[in-house]
Amino acid sequence: MNEHFYYHRQQQTVAACASVQGFGYWSGQDVRIELRPAPANSGITFVREDLNNFHRIPVSAYNRDDVPRRTNIARYGVRVEMVEHVLAALNAHNVDNCEIWTNAAEMPGCDGSSIAFVDAIASVGVVQQHLKRACLHIRHNLRVGDDECWIEAHPHSDPEQCGLNIRYSLDYGTDTVIGQQNYDMSLSAETFDSELATARTFVLEREANYLRSQGLGLRVSTHDLIVFGQDGPIDNNLRFRDECVRHKTLDVIGDLALAGCDLAGNIIAHKSGHFLNAELVKSLLIEHGVHTELARCA
């Protein structure tokens, strides 16, 4: 047993099957996913039911596929795409073991937030399982990134303290209406649902135009996510004044699910994206003596 792991609570899974459907933002392909109960110590696994062999892809930092602007995971050449929003909902609600059956590679974008997945979990509830959940207590200061964009992990002042605190600072400069935004929270299901779950994906109009020119996101409209023009959201309204930094915090929570265990400590991020978030997770696992995909069953 790794000395950095503690076992504070029972593992959990969804109590029954729950589905979410929509279309993938990047591919435009219709997709339906189903969250299914899974045994203790099995972790979160995506199952590609559209493939003949029902290919299984475990959620792990070591299975992350390096692509820009989203989190994909892959195994043996088969991938699932844009998994961060469903993982954020599962992570925030302490759903440790779950099979996510999908009939397409990309997860449904829905409204660009996690609320559809939160609602799916709430519709069936969660149940405790007979084994304890591993929690990695961060023992050392750790930083990945550079002076411009970075993310750090720090231990609690009390080494026995549980829980995860997250602070995120966003800076889009003075030439956009997004500007600078800051947000901090102590992670819980209640706080996630009330403050983060409905915060949506956002993009600048010039970024959206470029992606379309590359044949990406052609089915997405300004009603499916937030597109910022010179004067603010186009054909849409913000749900929070600081919705952008809230969504970036949501993304961090989803990417931290790649650890395969709970984390106890403090996460501080500045302009960090999916790549740096995942690099921090891998660095944390290696720093604390967990070197393989088995981290998901620590």
Sequence-separated (6 or more) residues with CB below 8 Å from residue 101: 33, 34, 36, 47, 49
The ranges assigned to domains in the chain are: 5-297
Burial of 14 (0-12, 13-18, 19+ CB in 10 A): buried
Helix-then-strand count for the chain, H and E: 6, 18
191 close to 108: Cβ distance less than 8 angstroms: no
Q: Which of 285, 266, 296 has its CA nearest to residue 39?
A: 296
- Active-site residue set: 274
What are the structure tokens assigned to 34, written together? 């189903």
Nearest residue to 176 (alpha-carbon basis) of 119, 109, 233, 116:
233
- What is the secondary structure of 238-293 as a DSSP string? -SSTTHHHHHHHHHHHHHHGGGSSEEEEEEEEES--HHHHHHHHHHHHHHTT--SG
Sequence-ordered list of residues with C-beta below 8 angstroms from that of 143, at least 6 positions apart, any chain: 150, 151, 152, 153
pTM greater than the 0.85 cutoff: yes
Length of the chain: 298
- pLDDT-above-90 percentage for the chain: 83
List, for residues 126-177, the tens digit of each pLDDT value. 999 999 999 999 999 999 999 999 999 999 998 778 899 999 999 999 889 9
Strands 126-137 vs 142-145: parallel, antiparallel or unpaired:
unpaired
User: In this predicted structure, what is the pLDDT of residue 297?
Assistant: 46
Predicted confidence (pLDDT) per residue in 235-263, tens digit: 999 999 999 999 999 999 999 999 999 99
Token code pair at residue 17:
């099957």
Report the CATH number of the 5-297 domain: 3.30.230.20
Once rounded to an integer, what is the mean pLDDT over residues 219-226? 90
